[in-house]
Amino acid sequence: MKTMIPEKLRFGILGAGMIANIHAQAIRTLPGAQLAGVADAYPAAAEAFAGRYGIAAYPDYGAMLADDAVDVICICTPSGLHAQQALQAIRHRRHVVLEKPMALTTEDADRIAEEARCAGVLVTVISQLRFSEDVRTLKRLVEQNAFGRLIFCNLFMKYWRDPAYYAASSWKGTFALDGGGALMNQGIHGIDLLLHIAGSAAVLKGCKRTLSHKIEVEDTAAALLEFENGALGVIEASTCTAPGFERRIEIHGDRGCAVLVEDRLAELTLDGEVLRDESRRSDGQRCINTASDPGKLDCSLHARQLQNMMNAIRGSEPLAVGCADGRRAVELILNICRE
Ligand SMILES: NC(=O)c1ccc[n+]([C@@H]2O[C@H](COP(=O)([O-])OP(=O)(O)OC[C@H]3O[C@@H](n4cnc5c(N)ncnc54)[C@H](O)[C@@H]3O)[C@@H](O)[C@H]2O)c1
């Protein structure tokens, strides 16, 4: 059992695919963190990844868990494996950075939360967009009642994924390992943000379809929501709306409105004063836009979330995104899919 917190927290990465690179790059930007090693079901994938970052490749996950030099495990594997692999890490007293979705069922999410609590380890569920300055601003404005009574809190995610995106993967689009499509894979980012900003919501009506892609799970979904604060909301999510549009979250109240486009506040009007209107700006703001290309991520927001996790391990800051947050997004998605 690990007790001492070392000067630099050492991260092991499980799964050496696309998002693992973002984790590795993020860890390398953090002075208090060190990349310890990587494991993958395919040793050749782990070795190639290890070579790229100058770290050790473990023969398998068991070997990584047996290494006392690893303090935190980043789980970057197909979604259907997250729950079991997170539980393994927790049972070895490791802190866990768990890629979204944290689990495919609320029962598994509860098990992770309970075992982590009993083991005294932290689990953060990745929702990197929460660490955008504009998302923080929007959440603060809602908390301050700046928009007055909230009327609509909406999420529109009309993304495009090429058929090759699914064809090239052994697990994307499958029930067992993706657990869902436009909602559970891509939509969960916006759903977590919507709930983070506007609070919990009940699903009044949900609807999912597979309209264009040849996959087992939904490529399109819509829902009608009612928030605990009394506002109504709609969700539209799809991965077959060409050419792909930036994700929008719209907050409308009786005193103003805001539009979050991907992770930037594009429009803000309060009490009749237009404070932001992106259509009038020409300063080329930064935008992480995965509307049509999932590879267009950068590691800066992951780095902020990992920094928060490290601060929480050291007890200097509360954990920003824990199991309850990860569970809430999964639960809403499952309620939409229940129809
Ligand atoms: N936060 C984000 O913005 C974001 C973006 C993309 C993906 N993700 C999430 O990250 C996870 C991985 O997605 P990806 O796009 O990197 O997938 P990927 O297919 O590129 O990589 C997955 C890796 O896991 C490995 N793997 C499979 N089974 C394994 C096992 N049993 N043990 C160890 N390794 C195993 C594969 O060999 C592969 O290298 C998914 O849960 C996805 O939802 C998050």
| Structural domain contains residue 192 | yes
**200 and 145, same domain (yes or no):** yes
Supply the pLDDT for residue 56.
95
Q: Tell me if 81 sits within 8 A of 292, measured CB to CB.
A: no
User: What type of residue is 276?
Assistant: R
**pLDDT of res. 307:** 98
Closest CA to 67 of 76, 81, 75, 57: 57
* Long-range CB pairs of 167-176, under 8 A, 24+ apart, other chains included: 171/78, 171/80, 172/215, 173/213, 173/215, 173/216, 173/217, 174/80, 174/215, 174/216, 174/217, 175/216, 175/217, 176/80
Q: Are residues 152 and 287 in the same domain?
A: yes
Sort 273 into a burial class: Cβ within 10 Å, 0-12 / 13-18 / 19+: exposed
> In whole angstroms, what is the distance from residue 154 CA to residue 249 CA?
6
Show pLDDT as tens, one digit a residue, over the chain (339 residues). Answer: 456 789 899 999 999 999 999 999 999 999 999 999 999 999 999 999 999 999 999 999 999 999 999 999 999 999 999 999 999 999 999 999 999 999 999 999 999 999 999 999 999 999 999 999 999 999 999 999 999 999 999 999 999 999 999 999 999 999 999 999 999 999 999 999 999 999 999 999 999 999 999 999 999 999 999 999 999 999 999 999 999 999 999 999 999 999 999 999 999 999 999 999 987 655 544 455 788 888 888 999 999 999 999 999 999 999 999 999 999 999 999 999 997
| Ligand 1 centroid to residue 15 C-alpha, Å | 6
For residue 3, the model assigns a pLDDT of 62
Residues 81 and 53 grouped into a single domain: yes
Structure tokens at 215: 């996959």
Say yes or no: CB of residue 103 within 6 Å of ligand 1: no
Domain of residue 93, residue span: 9-125+302-322
Q: Is 45's C-beta closer than 6 angstroms to any atom of ligand 1?
A: yes
What is the spatial distance between Cα 52 and Cα 121, in angstroms, rounded to a whole number? 30
Q: Determine, yes or no, domain membership for 252.
A: yes
Residue-level pLDDT at 281: 55
Is 333 inside a domain boundary? no
Q: Which atom of ligand 1 is nearest to the CA of 42?
A: 37
Nearest CA to ligand 1 atom 21: 17
Give the residue carrying structure tokens 């950068």.
298
Could you tell me the CATH number of the domain that includes residue 160?
3.30.360.10
Q: Do 120 and 16 fall within a single domain?
A: yes
- Axis-axis angle for helices 323-338, 106-119 (nearest 10): 170
pLDDT of residue 286: 45
**Is the whole-model pTM more than 0.85?**
yes
76 lines ligand 1 (CB under 6 A): yes
Query: 206 in ligand 1 pocket by Cβ < 6 Å?
Result: no
Q: Is residue 236 part of a domain?
A: yes
Helix residue ranges per DSSP H, the chain: 18-29, 43-53, 61-66, 82-91, 106-119, 133-143, 163-167, 188-198, 300-313, 323-338
User: How many domains does the chain fold into?
Assistant: 2
Q: Are residues 254 and 145 both part of a single domain?
A: yes
pLDDT at 293: 82
Match 């999410």 to its residue by tokens: 109
Query: Is any ligand 1 atom within 6 A of the Cβ of residue 186?
Result: no
Residue 322 is predicted with a pLDDT of 98
Joined together, the tokens standing for residue 16 give 């050496």
Q: Which two tokens stand for residue 96?
A: 């866990």
Per DSSP bridges, beta strands 56-57 and 72-75 are unpaired
Same domain, 19 and 44: yes
